[in-house]
Amino acid sequence: MQSFPDRAKKVRQTAGEPYVWFTGMGLMVGLLMVIFLLGLIVVNGFQAFWPKRVAQVMLKETSPVDVKGSKVIAGEIIKKRQKTLRALTREQDGGASDARPTEWQLFLGNKDAYGFSFRYFDFDDIAQVTYPDAMMVIERLEYGDAIALPAALDIQGEGTLPTAEPRFKDRLHHLVTEVNQRWQTIKNIEKFDIGAINARLSKLRLQQSALDRARREGATVSDARQQALNETMTALNQSNEELRLQARALRSKQNDHTLVYRLPTGEERRLPLGQVVHYYYPNTMTFWQRVGLLWHNIRVFLAHEPREANTEGGVFPAIFGTCVMTILMSLAVTPFGVVAAIYLREYAKQGFVVRAVRIAVNNLAGVPSIVFGVFGLGFFVYLVGGTIDELFFHLALPTPTFGTGGVLWASLTLALMTVPVVIVATEEALAAVPRGMREGSLACGASKWQTMQRIVIPAAAPGILTGLILAMARGAGEVAPLMLVGVVKLAPSLPVDSIFPFVHLERKFMHLGFHIYDLGFQSPDSEAAIPMVFATTLLLISLVVLMNLGAIFIRERLRRKYATGAF
């Protein structure tokens, strides 16, 4: 017979088991939600780069739908779905039927010819679907992709080369490669060579403004100095004009050759090869050719600049801007957060004031991020930046240098927003260092600061890096405050480049988080932006994970080195 304590213990264990199962189910649901969300992002992100087959669809003669008067269309099948009840209500005069017909969404391309790129078609209106081998997808600099049947190639000095000629594909590939290389040469001339000259000219104009101001104030300006300045500006302007003429001559060659193609509707159009970025025949590609084109598209997405209102091209400036801003934010938040935590934990007298400061720090972690953005705009941009302009860049006024949004102010704003995370994590790491390590150091004759510097801080370094990881994860994904302190839709130049002083903290920058917002809510073509939204989201998550993994790797090495610490 069980005693009363044994029966009571068994009752308590039985009563607690449902809560254990409940917490386990909560964990499982949370993990499933995270896995589902990541899976959705990964699948849709890679679909943006996977080359799809192009279907040629023939509509029924009785169908009221056509494209520019033609019943023959071609495009990539994006989705198949049942029609919405709202659409059925508009189409039906009487009550809705139980059967809901299916509709297909096709990406037709040829936005310049049709006026739209995506369109839905009822499955009941489709008479035939084929996949012609000759169908070509042409990626263009403007108006998105063209989906058409190539007809001929007009080559300057050689005449017309029809598609029936065996050398048509080789000649087209050679000419497209040539114009792409020429575009790269033009870009290098305009962005680097002319850009460097323009930067020097801007500085010389400021020097000229300083001389003019000195003359107005009655100061004496030597003729030799003025003459040297004029000669330098004249030489730079001459070099600038020569480079512009060179770039203009190269641009004129981009329209020498023309691709003639026919739309599925039968209309014949002409496209200068200078507008062709890439092309492929989707219906004749093998699986491994599709994989190769997939990696090519990913490389272009990572390494090229955006175009067509950010719906085409790559996101390299956004990647670079996100990394630079996150690094600058980490460099600012780590010393401030660590120093504040050391003072609060080790030096400040524990009392009402310290408790109030801790409460204030903890409350800062719950302040909406847009509030930090408004503070950064008013304090960093207008007050600090405006003061810097008046003291050091007064010659450039009224054009602001630091008195406007830039990567420096964005980094400091996010550092201010994430400093509570670093303070709390550092305080916990310092408190976890064994007391015996401190006492042993002091017993050996070390001062309190030497103990902090050589014993406590190294032992707490893994915990400090934990706070830094959390700060980086939060800061890299923020968008709202950045919209006020420096992020832009399209940045003309990077914060770091080859022009002295190489790091330009006053420049505006692009950010992956804002890029996602811009594509999702500000894009002129929302349907075309959907693949880029998923691809950019996947890239942002991957970038944050990679930066965090690097910090975690360093933290684990420090943890093994100082194995006696709790972190």
Average pLDDT over residues 71-93: 74
Query: What is the per-residue pLDDT for 91?
Result: 55
Question: Which position has the token pair 């510097």?
Answer: 453
> What tokens does 425 get?
């994590």
> What tokens does 483 get?
């919209």
Beta bridge partners of 259: 153, 271
Q: Any idea which of 7-11, 186-190, 300-304, 343-347 has the lowest mean pLDDT?
A: 7-11
Cα distances (Å, whole numbers) of residue 498 to 26, 237, 505: 52, 20, 14
DSSP 356-396: HHHHHHHHHTTS-HHHHHHHIIIIIIIIIIHHHHHHH-GGG
Query: What is the per-residue pLDDT for 439?
Result: 85
Question: Which position has the token pair 């209106």?
Answer: 125
Mean pLDDT of the chain: 87
Beta bridge partners of 159: 155
Helices (H), 404-525: 407-432, 435-443, 448-451, 457-476, 482-485, 512-521
> CB 507: neighbour CB atoms within 10 A?
22
Average pLDDT over residues 137-141: 93
**pLDDT greater than 60 at residue 4:** no
What percentage of the chain carries pLDDT values higher than 90? 42
Do 475 and 418 touch, CB atoms closer than 8 A? yes
What band does 566 get if pLDDT is binned at 50, 70 and 90? very low
Do 316 and 308 touch, CB atoms closer than 8 A? no
Query: What is the per-residue pLDDT for 499?
Result: 82
**pLDDT greater than 50 at residue 565:** no
Instruction: State the Cα–Cα distance between residues 538 and 38, nearest whole angstrom.
Output: 8
CATH topology (fold) of 316-561: MetI-like fold (1.10.3720)
Sheet containing strand 54-59, edge to edge, reads 118-122, 102-107, 72-82, 54-59, 126-130
Average pLDDT over residues 301-330: 90
Q: Which of 101, 88, 91 is nearest to 64 (CA)?
A: 91
Average pLDDT over residues 14-27: 80
What band does 158 get if pLDDT is binned at 50, 70 and 90? confident
What band does 8 get if pLDDT is binned at 50, 70 and 90? low
Query: What is the per-residue pLDDT for 5?
Result: 60
Q: What is the pTM of this model?
A: 0.86
Query: What is the per-residue pLDDT for 20?
Result: 83
Q: Any idea which of 155-164, 198-207, 421-430, 518-527 has the lowest mean pLDDT?
A: 518-527
Q: Any idea which of 33-47, 57-71, 205-219 has the lowest mean pLDDT?
A: 205-219
Instruction: State the Cα–Cα distance between residues 364 and 396, nearest whole angstrom.
Output: 37
Helix (H) or strand (E) holding 186: helix 168-188
Length of the chain: 567
Query: What is the per-residue pLDDT for 530?
Result: 87
Average pLDDT over residues 256-278: 92
Q: Any idea which of 69-78, 95-104, 306-315, 448-457 has the lowest mean pLDDT?
A: 95-104
**Residue that wins the pLDDT comparison between 554 and 288:** 288
> CA 462, 464, 468, 471 torsion: positive or negative?
positive
Query: What is the per-residue pLDDT for 6?
Result: 61
Do 414 and 422 touch, CB atoms closer than 8 A? no
What percentage of the chain carries pLDDT values higher than 70? 93
**pLDDT greater than 80 at residue 455:** yes
Average pLDDT over residues 73-99: 68
Query: What is the per-residue pLDDT for 420?
Result: 92
List the end-to-end C-alpha distance of the chain, in Å, as a whole number. 48
Residue 99 backbone dihedrals phi, psi, to 5 degrees: -80, 130
Instruction: State the Cα–Cα distance between residues 520 and 537, nearest whole angstrom.
Output: 11
Crossing angle of helices 526-561/287-303, nearest 10°?
80
Domain range list for the chain = 54-150, 157-256, 316-561
> CB 100: neighbour CB atoms within 10 A?
14
Average pLDDT over residues 341-354: 88
Q: Which of 292, 287, 296, 333 is nearest to 314 (CA)?
A: 296
Instruction: State the Cα–Cα distance between residues 474 and 487, nearest whole angstrom.
Output: 17
Q: Which of 403, 148, 415 is nearest to 261 (CA)?
A: 148
3-class DSSP state of 244:
helix
What band does 55 get if pLDDT is binned at 50, 70 and 90? very high
Do 536 and 315 touch, CB atoms closer than 8 A? yes
**pLDDT greater than 60 at residue 93:** no
Average pLDDT over residues 374-396: 91
Residue 399 backbone dihedrals phi, psi, to 5 degrees: -75, 120
Amino acid identity, position 88: L
Query: What is the per-residue pLDDT for 470?
Result: 86
Helix (H) or strand (E) holding 267: none
